[in-house]
Amino acid sequence: MNKLLSFMFTILLLFTMGCDQAEMPNIGGIVGPGEEELYGCEGAPMYDWDDFQFATSLDQNETVWVGFDLEETTLFNVNIDQAGFHCVIFNGCVGELGNPPPIFDFQSIGNTQEVGILTEGTYHMEITNTRNRVDFTFSIALNEIVYGCVNNDALNYNPDANVGDGSCVFNDCNDEWLVLAYEELVLDCNGNCSPANWVGDGWCDDGAYAVYPNEEAYNNYQNCQAEGTDDCSQYLVAIDLYCAELNWDEGDCEAIDEGCSGTEIEDCNGICAPESWLGDGYCDEGNYEYNGNSIFFDCEEFNNDEGDCDEGLNRQIQQPKYPNGRIPIR
């Protein structure tokens, strides 16, 4: 009796599975009038990738297949305007289930997604709705590949690149000599190592001040200064903290944007200062402040503060000229 019941249960189970298989949605479509109905990638319509877009509806767990040909290597993007679609891309079609394993497997998020690089060939894509029935629009965009460094913190960042090639070069701000010279460092707006204590310290660092990038540059700069060579700044790296990422040097550079009044002029570093300070018998080389900014007229543009900063006329220095290791760029 038990054997008979077991046999009947097995027959019923096989019959049920067969019915479920027969009720599967036509996920590929019929190829040609009067031809055998095909499923999966075998019945997938082939699209021209230059004009690859369609709109349809899928029930939960229902699947649709599409196929497309690529004529050249390209960066492949998929746009599905609804989230929750499981997408799998196969290299070719072997049987109705594609050509496992898939080369790309991802979930839609409701907008354009960069999938990856595809080479010339024929591809099939399975799209399955994992949520309730929904209408959706599907399209493919193919972009020309531009190789380069895609990390904007790198020294050689390429804003036009869309595929990284491993060429990014970064400053090593943990260099032993740099840490000894400047202690804690951060990356500036251009990816250069900058003393962390320059940020928000009351001095606008918009490229007017520089640091030594390494010990060799330090030695070269000192020798250059000792020899009286003109272009010693070639051994320095200008620090720029004047960008949105660093909140415009934490507010230190806001005064620059306001412009100078009728009685003011821009000093050697572009800071507004009283014009009357020029040639007034006092050497303005950063020892005196105006509106919270140290003022410098000791440069060739202003004839060394109209002679006030010539040798023998310097007034007594009351505070460090350039705090936190700053080196002015002339």
pLDDT band per the 50, 70, 90 thresholds, residue 321: low
> Residue 272's CB: how many other CB atoms inside 10 A?
20
Nearest to 42 by CA among 67, 11, 16, 18: 67
Domain boundary among 122, 143, 164: 143
pLDDT at 37: 64
Tell whether 212 is covered by a domain. Answer: no
| pTM for the whole structure | 0.44
The tally of domains found in the chain comes to 2
Tell whether 149 is covered by a domain. Answer: no
Tell whether 182 is covered by a domain. Answer: no
Average pLDDT over residues 92-109: 83
pLDDT at 322: 66
Domain boundary among 143, 166, 188: 143
Domain boundary among 125, 143, 161: 143
Domain span at 114:
36-143
Tell whether 231 is covered by a domain. Answer: no
Q: What is the CATH number of the domain that holds 101?
A: 2.60.120.380
pLDDT at 31: 37
pLDDT band per the 50, 70, 90 thresholds, residue 196: very high
Tell whether 198 is covered by a domain. Answer: no
Tell whether 279 is covered by a domain. Answer: yes
Model confidence over 50-90: pLDDT tens digits? 667 778 888 888 988 888 888 888 888 888 888 889 999 99
CA distance 322 to 245: 24
Residue indicated by tokens 């701000």: 173
Tell whether 82 is covered by a domain. Answer: yes
Tell whether 154 is covered by a domain. Answer: no
Contact yes or no for 161/169 (Cβ under 8 A): no
